[in-house]
Amino acid sequence: MPIRDRPALIVHTSYKYSKERKSYRGICLSDSEFKEYLSTRVNERFYDAKGTQDLLNSFDKVKQTEFDSENLKSMFESKEIPRDWKIGEKISECFLEDYCDVIFPYNDNRDAKDSRSNLPGTDMVGFVKINDRHLFLFGEVKTSDQDRNPPSIVYGSDGLIKQLNEIRDDSKKRMELIRWLRFKVGSHDNDKEMWIKAASNYLNTGEFKIFGVMIRGVMPNKRDLESVFRKIVRRMKDEIYLELLSLYLPILKSQYAEVMGKQH
């Protein structure tokens, strides 16, 4: 059964607000369901199981004398260090794909030339389907268990508010992300078609969507998003979609790596 058909992952929506194209929600996730989700769905995305298998498949026709298949697999397996903030980003990506009609056609883990380094740029770039139309999606993710509403990660030079406002205001930055995404979808027909449709909507109507996601291990509180929403939405054009999500998890970020487990 596809993940999107398993509503048990979501216990309930603790709070929500919506007006026209702008909204925010606080969502509580189930204990047992989330732990399974983290150890399977998120694990596969974090370690890019599909990408690793595609690499191995590419070597099927290559004559191998020095390496057996297991040695080759171990060389290509992700060496990604399971930092809690990075796992938080992958939780966000999986949740948006499974529950918010979002498509990320490319796993940005593949851009890392050094598994110890951090990739610059916006956290999430992809497509979102709204009313049977494909639009570009740009998003940022913050992870915090700080017992403060909102947590301090929303403020400052690298805080959520500033980052989302940059996406809102910086058309040059958005075009760089759109260009990056076109190169990454490559020659895959379905992904290319989505890009063309999203680009047409963007250039002709100015429509796109911004997602801001907070990953929290505290009790739900609408203050996590209320003031953030106000500071972002006040100068936002009518044609832009905005959705802020706070996912309230049953475990703390210090437990992410252990529950997610090693790559399969």
Residue bearing tokens 């171990």: 74
Chain Cα centroid distance, residue 150: 20
Grade residue 3 by pLDDT with cuts at 50, 70 and 90.
very low
The predicted pLDDT at position 73 comes to: 58
CA-to-CA dists, residue 84 to 2, 37, 80, 237, 246, angstroms: 26, 16, 12, 34, 16
Strand order in the sheet with 133-144: 10-19, 22-29, 241-248, 209-216, 133-144, 124-130, 102-103
Cβ pair 132, 194 in contact under 8 A: no
Strand partners for 216 = 144, 248
189-205 vs 171-185: helix axis angle to the nearest 10?
160
Q: What is the mean pLDDT of the chain?
A: 88
Q: Helix (H, G, I), strand (E, B), or coil: what is residue 22?
A: strand
> Which stretch of DSSP H or E encloses residue 128?
strand 124-130
Q: Please, what is the Cα angle at 28 between 24 and 30, to 5 degrees?
A: 150
Q: In percent, how much of the chain has pLDDT > 70?
A: 82
The predicted pLDDT at position 156 comes to: 96
Among the residue ranges 6-10, 49-53, 80-84, 244-248, the one predicted with the least confidence is 49-53
pTM for the predicted model, two decimal places: 0.88
The predicted pLDDT at position 262 comes to: 82
Q: Would the pLDDT of 116 be above 90?
A: no
Q: Please, what is the Cα angle at 252 between 248 and 257, to 5 degrees?
A: 115
Among the residue ranges 112-121, 159-168, 233-242, the one predicted with the least confidence is 112-121
Average pLDDT over residues 123-135: 96
The predicted pLDDT at position 144 comes to: 98
Among the residue ranges 31-35, 49-53, 91-95, 107-111, the one predicted with the least confidence is 49-53
pLDDT tens column, 30-79: 998 999 999 999 999 998 877 566 666 666 666 565 666 666 555 555 56
pLDDT tens column, 173-226: 999 999 999 999 987 889 999 999 999 999 999 999 999 999 999 999 999 999
Q: Helix (H, G, I), strand (E, B), or coil: what is residue 99?
A: helix
